[in-house]
Amino acid sequence: MPKKYQTGLMWFRRDLRTDDNAALHHALKSCEKVFAVFIFDSDILSPLPRADRRVEFIRESLVDLDGQLQQLAQRAGGTGSTGAGLMVFHGKASDALVALSDRLSVDAVFTNHDDEPAALARDAEVNARLQSAGRAWHSFKDHVIFERDEVLTLAGKPYSVFTPYKNAWLKKIDAFYLKPYPIEPYAKALAPPPAGEPSGVPSLTDIGFEPTNLQALKIPTGSQGGQALFDEFIGRMAQYKDTRDFPAVKGPSYLGVHLRFGTVSLRRMAAIALDRQREGDEGAATWLSELIWRDFYAQILSNFPHAAHQAFKPEYDAIAWESGDAAQALFKAWCEGRTGYPLVDAAMAQINQTGYMHNRLRMVTASFLVKDLGIDWRWGERYFAEKLNDFDLSANNGGWQWAASTGCDAQPYFRIFNPVSQSEKFDPQGKFIRKYLPALEKLPAPAIHSPWTAKPLELAAAGVALGETYPMPVVAHHEARAKTLQRYAVVKKS
């Protein structure tokens, strides 16, 4: 039976794997011949620093992806049995994609959804330009389990509260939604880059970037790295509920960056976690809940796009945040880990040095910026967007609005994390603090959680000089808390 199209183009984006890839499956199944492309989008890359771990992660993952495509084609013995792999470009994605489609005379372009506002605008432009040239555009769900309007209330409205959304998600999920998309049976259609088109993956310097400390941090890249991480996490999944809140303990999956760039199959992960939850595994159930939070925040962004730039609850935009030089100085101290609160400062050192921050600490640092320093949550959201390896607009925005109490299903505004008690509870021996704040390394617990309360002899013995080797607190928490309650009173009155 002949296929629908003679020639197709698979546009990889945030789905850097061949395994269980929806768009790749449909491309191979629908086309006699399929070319594969990735574009380093200059619209996204231009504002970034020249040393960016995410760009290096993508580049290394593309090397892995290129190898996977070649191996698939060789095993299939098709038209691309020698040399079938990626074409990689650097430029404005919409222009590069349309121009390539013209040069290759493709009948259709296949890709997976990207529901971020800028991506939707780009894709609408590409689709229109392809259609005007008589070419088809096919896009598929791959980055989440349920998207957009797939999980709605009984009234047909999108959810804005997580727990009922989660219950509806769990009620709807079945084998159909978790079934992997087979690739190998159709891999014969993979074609090598035509003469004159690039093959292989350019170096970082070729696209104007520099190496980072990604390799020194031993962050696994590509689908092989992601699968190895997941395989290791499976052995710890049962303990996830009990260990996930302690930053000095190996509790998280560390798969955030792989989920962000699609080097792992979310469907496969969710299927395993769901099976274990049904067997009574509380750790798996807790981790599955985190995956459902990803879907929840993604559908929030799809259905309430205003949340990308302003408070989900409009009345919270009336809050008067700190401003001027004093606010800028406080923000700089927060960014650089010089607040005088060790857990906050250690967490900021972690993100600055590694591009990763433990989830519990994301909540603590966000709460501190907004509710101790009185600074607009959007400042912190932007900083995390610049620094996080696993930055995802919907999850980052949702997390910050949760901490600021401005978002959907957020913590109440009067719930304000105490950075000292959080430190005492989740890093009781100060192991995490010592790792990232060497100036406090010799300070014993409990003094390490609040050095300003330590006895002079303790400080001297540890070589700590407050205000010199380690800063005094930039604010007093109890005073900041009172000020925050007053600041949020405008919401209570509305």
Q: Where are the alpha helices (DSSP H) in 83-213?
A: 93-104, 117-132, 162-172, 175-178
Position 83 scores a pLDDT of: 81
Q: Angle 267-85-230 (CA atoms, 0-180°, nearest 5)?
A: 30
Which of 65-74, 276-285, 401-410 comes out lowest in average pLDDT? 401-410
Mean pLDDT of the chain: 96
Position 412 scores a pLDDT of: 84
Position 175 scores a pLDDT of: 96
Per residue in 116-134, pLDDT (tens digit) is: 999 999 999 999 999 999 9
Q: Report the C-alpha gap between 468 and 460 in whole angstroms.
A: 12
Position 78 scores a pLDDT of: 58
Best CA proximity match to 247, nearest among 397, 425, 447, 445: 425
Q: Taking the CA of residue 188 as centre, how many other CA atoms within 13 Å lie in the half-sphere pointing to its CB?
A: 9
Residue 408 has pLDDT above 80, yes or no: yes
**CA R_g for the chain:** 24
Per residue in 167-189, pLDDT (tens digit) is: 999 999 999 999 999 999 999 99
Position 417 scores a pLDDT of: 96
Domain boundaries, the chain: 1-142, 144-179+222-303, 314-488
The SS3 assignment for 327 reads helix
Per residue in 46-105, pLDDT (tens digit) is: 999 999 999 999 999 999 999 999 999 999 985 555 689 999 999 999 999 999 999 999
Q: Report the C-alpha gap between 113 and 124 in whole angstroms.
A: 11
pLDDT-derived band of residue 411, with 50, 70 and 90 as boundaries?
A: confident
If you average pLDDT over residues 303-316, what whole number do you get?
A: 94
Position 414 scores a pLDDT of: 87
Position 275 scores a pLDDT of: 98
Strand 108-112 versus strand 5-12 pairing type? parallel
If you average pLDDT over residues 340-349, what whole number do you get?
A: 98
Per residue in 462-477, pLDDT (tens digit) is: 999 999 999 999 999 9
- Please name the fold of domain 1-142: Rossmann fold (3.40.50)
Per residue in 10-56, pLDDT (tens digit) is: 999 999 999 999 999 999 999 999 999 999 999 999 999 999 999 99
Position 77 scores a pLDDT of: 84
Name 149's Cβ contacts closer than 8 Å, sequence gap at least 6.
158, 299, 302, 303
Positions marked catalytic: 290, 293, 321, 359, 377, 400
Architecture of domain 314-488 in CATH? Orthogonal Bundle (1.10)
Read off the pTM: 0.96
Task: Annotate 398-410 with DSSP letters as a single string.
Answer: HHHHHHHT-STTP
If you average pLDDT over residues 312-333, what whole number do you get?
A: 96
If you average pLDDT over residues 317-322, what whole number do you get?
A: 95
Per residue in 181-225, pLDDT (tens digit) is: 999 999 999 999 999 999 999 999 999 999 999 999 999 999 999
Residue 159 has pLDDT above 80, yes or no: yes
- The domain over range 144-179+222-303 is classified in CATH as 2.40.10.10: no
How far, in whole angstroms, is CA 109 from its chain's centroid? 26
Residue 492 has pLDDT above 80, yes or no: no
Q: Where are the alpha helices (DSSP H) in 17-105?
A: 22-30, 42-45, 53-76, 93-104
